[in-house]
């Protein structure tokens, strides 16, 4: 099979986003739109992806360089149209032999199968292929003019179309594939004598036909090629993405009673047999194993939840939280960079940061791992079966041995041996009758109009 290449257009200013951030760095499912396009190109097996950016877009150029390498980021100096944008990749691809696909970085949800169809047409002899879709409201899209045998004759932009052509419902998604050398060859012939005075990539179809080459249209769904030009469209595409994830997980056997309130990232992994209660957010890099229950109003990021574990309601799992089999992380418990052993429990109101909790340990309400001294962070290690009394502060670095017992309200600054009891708080002393005497004296003084020194 011929090598594959991708040319990703990202030079648009994105003015309508009204955002200081470059448009294509806005995220869908926790991943930038640009990264979605790069990921698609990788999934399609592209050997290289060249990203076309505008001038004076340092933030975007840097982000693109991280994704594809600086040598694959090229600048389109003037925004003279989509053909001119692709042409900006000419030098970068001067030695490329094979087939290329053009993607718009503001169109993030193109499925791999759609890209495969575009390449397949070229691999079976078409010279240009565009991905078309049946548009509900085709108004501003380019229209695909097809012949009776279904092959593609031309693309006309809405501004240049006749009344009859505007009736065509088959619209251009913008995705185009062609042999690399032919694409750059045809690009030399593109002119800008059209309504917008731009160099249209879509002209490649007519130019190929003029050489008696075959052009093809592959089809996809409208929702797969929804582009983003405004914040509202960004949210609309996010909805498409979220609905897709929800459906996919439910089909795979995940129980989600209120799916419209649960939010996933592009890389969320949930096993069949997991239950996700309402209002749960999965930020990036989360996996949940079978039988686990994520209860309402929990937020998870960079966390692994083991089989049968119970998380929430109102739990926060941060990067590096690894929750063992059948462990419980309850309400208002925050876990960061801590491994929680099998069957261990932290059910209420705790901060567990940097450390490990052994199997079967019990962390009482209000326990805090004091992990930070303002400069460095330290680990707290709790052995198997240990019991941490409520409202204890464990000042790291510190360890509690297996089976150790920490009295409630302790501030633990030294290691606790296995199976020992530690009590690290002021000793209680009861003074019989003290309160009664105190009240009698004070009320007498008040009645006599006396005020102790310092009273206001």
> Which residues of this protein are in contact with ligand UD1, per CB under 6 A?
9, 11-12, 52, 76, 79-82, 84-85, 104, 106, 141-142, 155, 157, 171-174, 200-202, 227
Q: Is residue 255 classed exposed, middle or buried when 0-12, 13-18 and 19+ CB atoms within 10 A define those classes?
A: middle
For strands 31-32 and 27-28, give the pairing: antiparallel
CB atoms within 10 A of CB 387: 17
Crossing angle between the packed helical segments 33-43 and 58-68, to the nearest 10 degrees = 20
Q: Choose, from 77, 99, 299, 348, the residue flagged as catalytic.
A: 348
H-only helix segments in 295-349: none
As a whole number of angstroms, the distance between CA 313 and CA 311 comes to 7
Closest distance of CB 237 from ligand UD1, Å:
13
> Which is closer to ligand UD1, CB of 192 or CB of 287?
192
Nearer to ligand UD1, 123 or 160 (CB): 160
Is-catalytic flag, 266?
A: no
Whole-number Å distance between alpha carbons of 262 and 259: 5
Nearest to ligand UD1 of 194, 287 (CB atom)? 194
Of 103 and 315, the one with the shorter C-beta distance to ligand UD1 is: 103
Integer CA distances (angstroms), 231 to 14, 33, 374, 445, in order: 10, 13, 38, 68
Q: Decide whether 75 or 258 has the Cβ nearer to ligand UD1.
A: 75
> What's the min distance (Å) between Cβ of 202 and ligand UD1?
5
As measured in angstroms, the least distance from the Cβ of 52 to ligand UD1 is 6
Q: Considering beta carbons, is residue 18 or 451 the nearer one to ligand UD1? A: 18
Nearer Cβ to ligand UD1, position 171 or 292?
171
Output the smallest distance, CB 402 to ligand UD1, in A: 59
Question: Cβ–Cβ contacts within 10 Å for residue 312, how many?
Answer: 25
Q: How far is the CB of 204 from ligand UD1 (least distance, A)?
A: 10
Query: What does the alpha-carbon distance between residue 379 and residue 372 come to, in Å, rounded to a whole number?
Result: 9
Task: Report the distance separating Cα 293 and Cα 255, nearest Å.
Answer: 9
| Helix orientation angle between 33-43 and 112-123, rounded to the nearest 10 degrees | 50
Separation of alpha carbons 307 and 123, rounded Å = 45
Sign of CA dihedral 240, 241, 246, 247: positive
The SS3 call for residue 433 is coil
Which residues, at least 6 apart from 34, have a Cβ–Cβ distance to it below 8 Å?
8, 10, 24, 25, 51, 60, 63, 64, 67, 105
Q: Report, in Å, the least distance between residue 174 CB and ligand UD1.
A: 4
Three-state SS for 152? strand
Q: Tell the smallest beta-carbon distance from residue 229 to ligand UD1 (Å).
A: 7
Q: Which residues are catalytic?
A: 348
């Amino acid at each position: 099979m011929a090598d594959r290449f991708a040319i990703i257009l990202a030079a648009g200013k994105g003015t309508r986003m009204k955002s200081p951030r470059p448009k294509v760095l806005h995220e869908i499912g926790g991943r930038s739109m640009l990264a979605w396009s790069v990921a698609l190109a990788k999934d399609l097996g592209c050997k290289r992806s060249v990203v076309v950016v505008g001038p004076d877009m340092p933030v975007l150029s840097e982000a693109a360089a991280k994704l594809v390498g600086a040598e694959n980021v090229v600048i389109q100096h003037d925004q003279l149209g989509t053909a001119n944008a692709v042409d900006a990749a000419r030098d970068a691809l001067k030695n490329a032999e094979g087939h290329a696909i053009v993607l718009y970085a503001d169109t993030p949800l193109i499925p791999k199968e759609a890209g495969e169809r575009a390449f397949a047409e070229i691999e079976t002899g078409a010279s240009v292929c565009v991905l078309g879709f049946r548009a509900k409201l085709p108004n501003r899209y380019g229209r695909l003019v097809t012949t009776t045998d279904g092959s593609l004759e031309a693309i006309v932009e809405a501004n240049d179309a006749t009344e009859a052509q505007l009736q065509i419902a088959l619209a251009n998604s913008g995705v185009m594939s062609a042999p690399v050398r032919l694409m750059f060859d045809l690009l030399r012939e593109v002119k800008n004598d059209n309504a917008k005075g731009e160099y249209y990539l879509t002209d490649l179809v007519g130019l190929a036909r003029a050489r008696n080459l075959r052009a093809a249209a592959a089809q996809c769904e409208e929702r797969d090629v929804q582009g983003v030009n405004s914040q509202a469209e960004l949210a609309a595409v996010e909805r498409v993405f979220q609905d897709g994830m929800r459906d996919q997980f439910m089909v795979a056997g995940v129980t989600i009673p209120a799916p419209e309130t649960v939010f996933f990232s592009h890389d969320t992994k949930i096993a069949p047999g997991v239950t996700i209660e309402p209002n749960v957010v999965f930020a990036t890099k989360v996996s949940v194993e079978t039988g686990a229950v994520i209860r309402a109003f929990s937020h998870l990021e960079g966390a692994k939840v083991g089989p049968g574990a119970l998380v929430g309601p109102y739990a926060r799992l941060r990067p590096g939280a690894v929750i063992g089999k059948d462990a419980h992380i309850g309400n208002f418990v925050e876990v960061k960079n801590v491994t929680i052993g099998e069957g261990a429990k932290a059910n209420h109101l705790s901060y567990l940061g940097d450390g490990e909790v052994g199997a079967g340990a019990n962390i009482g309400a209000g326990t805090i791992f004091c992990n930070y001294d303002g400069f460095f962070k330290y680990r707290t290690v709790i052995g198997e079966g240990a019991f941490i009394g409520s409202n204890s502060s464990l000042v790291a670095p510190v360890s509690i041995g297996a089976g150790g017992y920490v009295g409630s309200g302790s501030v633990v600054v030294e290691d606790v041996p296995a199976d020992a009891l530690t009590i690290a708080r002021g000793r209680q002393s009861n003074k019989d009758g003290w309160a009664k005497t105190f009240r009698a004296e004070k009320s007498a003084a008040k009645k006599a109009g006396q005020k102790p020194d310092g009273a206001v």
